[in-house]
Amino acid sequence: STQPCLTTCFNISLTFFFATGNTTEGIVDYSNVESKFSLRTAEVPDDDLCYIVPGQPDTVAGCSFNLETQTFVVIHGWTVTGMFESWVPKLVAALYKREPTANVIVVDWLNRAQQHYPTSAAYTKLVGQDVAKFVNWLENEIGYPWEKVHLLGYSLGAHVAGIAGFLTNHKVHRITGLDPAGPGFEFADPQSTLSPDDANFVDVLHTNTRGSPDRSIGIQRPVGHVDIYPNGGTFQPGCDLQNTMLMIATTGFQNMDQIVKCSHERSIHLFIDSLVNKEKQSMAYRCNKKEAFDKGLCLSCRKNRCNTLGYQVNKVRSRRSAKMYLKTREMMPFKVFHYQVKVHLFSQDKLEFTEQPMKMSLYGTDGEAEAIAFTLPLLYSNTTVSFLLTTDVNVGDLLKVTLQWENDSLFSLSSWWSSNKFWVRRLRIKSGETQAKVIFSAKNGEFAFLSRGGDHAVFVKSKDQQSSRKEERRHKRKMQGSLFTKSTE
């Protein structure tokens, strides 16, 4: 249990900080600053060529620090190897690509970061203090505006950023937490972890929260103003065992720690994606529960319910931090388009199916996405199902869709005796990205048929788009009515 140490260490370092941090006289002791601040360049993003040393103003000019532009401070996390991980130069290069005149500073606390995890975790206090001293020094001695400082911390580095933000004289502009570390921090107080009070704006990506609280690699609870949980936050696509084996086969076991951290590190690559793929910004949507999101129920953008993931996030500072969700691809660019599909299934006889494999195709003004496979958890007579459909293809405005019910692998003989056909009059589709709601009706006749193992049902954009509020309400009442009847049976 690292908790008592964290608290004690923190109180000690806090006292120490305020005792030595008397800046009014201009005599601040920087001799105990162990962390190093390397100003990297766009030309050489992977090497430390020039350090800015707090207390030594000549190093600012010596490294050609640009006082006119913004500064990114990149803070790494725990390391097994004691070396910078491969993502560091990638993030540096991406920051320069997006903001060529900015200063990108990499904090080097590798010595303290390569200890036994609880020791390194406790060191976040001292490193946070180092970073705070650095920022205060830039502000007080060099006259650099603190509103231009953006701290980016990964894993333990996210908590370092939080502690630094808490200790600076003025709040820094922004802190981005990239999958803040979980063990030792899930139940810790806000002063020892990243929290919304640590900067004017705090945005957080949670990508590896699988496991029990305080045991998962990434922290589970929201710790910023905007907390985004890609793919539910637990685990990321492309990080499964099959891909792991492939990576071992191609890169060998020496990258084992990289492989283990696939989901954890995905937070960084999602942020890099937002920097370099300006035209493919991923959208995230506020939702109370991951399960509701997976049913497509949370694709609203009203009242800041949706936001852009990463660099271009809309800086909404709500009182209560809200969890936001999205799906992504397994590689860069990560963006997908989200759709909620609602379909009412009629049948004469009572039918009930679970976990059914389906396929849907979307045809739009700009392209098509064919045979998107997904599983419907429940098909039930005379009820409306709602589900989330995603594709990485930008189809534009939807014109036609098809829906097909696949044979499942356990297609049983009994299915032969009974009818396994639903009647569908229309589909309602809402796009998360455009917020457009479109009604589709059966292409041929009043109904299309959805039968197991049968042909796909074809729907075209309905001529009467009865999407008026009144119609919506009427529809909702009808749905509730049918659900009510069902539940009282």
Ligand X SMILES: *[C@@H]1O[C@H](CO)[C@@H](O)[C@H](O)[C@H]1NC(C)=O
Binding-site residue numbers for Ca(2+) are 198
User: What's the distance, Cα to Cα, between the start and end of the chain in Å?
Assistant: 52
Residue 446 within binding range of ligand X, rule CB under 6 A:
no
Task: State the CB neighbour count (10 A cutoff) for residue 418.
Answer: 10
Stretch that binds ligand X, among 34-42, 200-208, 340-348, 359-367 (CB under 6 A): 340-348
Which residue ranges are tagged as binding site? 198
Stretch that binds ligand X, among 147-155, 175-183, 267-275, 348-356 (CB under 6 A): 348-356
Six-digit token string for 75: 């803070």
Is 463 in a helix, a strand, or coil? coil
Q: Are 50 and 63 in contact (CB under 8 A)?
A: yes
Residue 22 within binding range of ligand X, rule CB under 6 A:
yes
Catalytic residue among 155, 195, 274, 321: 155
Can you name the residues that pair with 386 across neighbouring β-strands?
342
Which position among 288, 318, 367, 411 is part of the footprint of ligand X (CB under 6 A)? 411
Stretch that binds ligand X, among 21-29, 128-136, 214-222, 259-267 (CB under 6 A): 21-29
Count of residues in the chain: 489
The minimum distance between CB 416 and ligand X, in angstroms, equals: 8
187 versus 411: smaller Cβ distance to ligand X: 411
Active site residue 203: no
Residue 414 within binding range of ligand X, rule CB under 6 A:
no
Residue 346 within binding range of ligand X, rule CB under 6 A:
yes
Active site residue 412: no
Residue 478 within binding range of ligand X, rule CB under 6 A:
no
Catalytic residue among 76, 264, 269, 338: 264
Active site residue 179: yes
Which position among 1, 25, 252, 254 is part of the footprint of ligand X (CB under 6 A)? 25
Stretch that binds ligand X, among 48-56, 208-216, 347-355, 440-448 (CB under 6 A): 347-355
Q: Looking at beta carbons, which residue is closest to ligand X?
A: 453
277 versus 382: smaller Cβ distance to ligand X: 382
Q: Are 164 and 151 in contact (CB under 8 A)?
A: yes
213 versus 453: smaller Cβ distance to ligand X: 453
The minimum distance between CB 386 and ligand X, in angstroms, equals: 18
Residue 111 DSSP class: H
Stretch that binds ligand X, among 144-152, 303-311, 346-354, 441-449 (CB under 6 A): 346-354
Which position among 1, 4, 24, 212 is part of the footprint of ligand X (CB under 6 A)? 24
Q: Are 35 and 130 in contact (CB under 8 A)?
A: yes
d(CA 313, CA 202): 10
Could you tell me how far CA 488 lies from the centroid of its own chain? 40
Phi-psi category of residue 167: left, alpha or beta, with phi > 0 → left and psi -120 to 50 → alpha: alpha
Is 218 in a helix, a strand, or coil? strand
Could you tell me how far CA 405 lies from the centroid of its own chain? 32
Which position among 111, 304, 314, 348 is part of the footprint of ligand X (CB under 6 A)? 348
Give the binding-site size for ligand X (rule: CB under 6 A).
13
Task: Indicate the pairing of strand 199-205 with strand 172-178.
Answer: parallel
d(CA 288, CA 298): 9
Contacts (CB under 6 A) with ligand X, residues 380-399:
381-382
Nearest to 206 by CA among 267, 265, 133: 267
325 versus 405: smaller Cβ distance to ligand X: 405
Six-digit token string for 125: 């206090």
Name residues whose C-beta falls within 8 Å of residue 236's C-beta, 6 or more positions apart in sequence.
207, 208, 230, 262, 263, 266, 328, 330
For the annotated catalytic residues, the residue numbers are: 155, 179, 264
The contact set with ligand X (CB under 6 A) reads 22, 24-25, 346-350, 381-382, 407, 411, 453
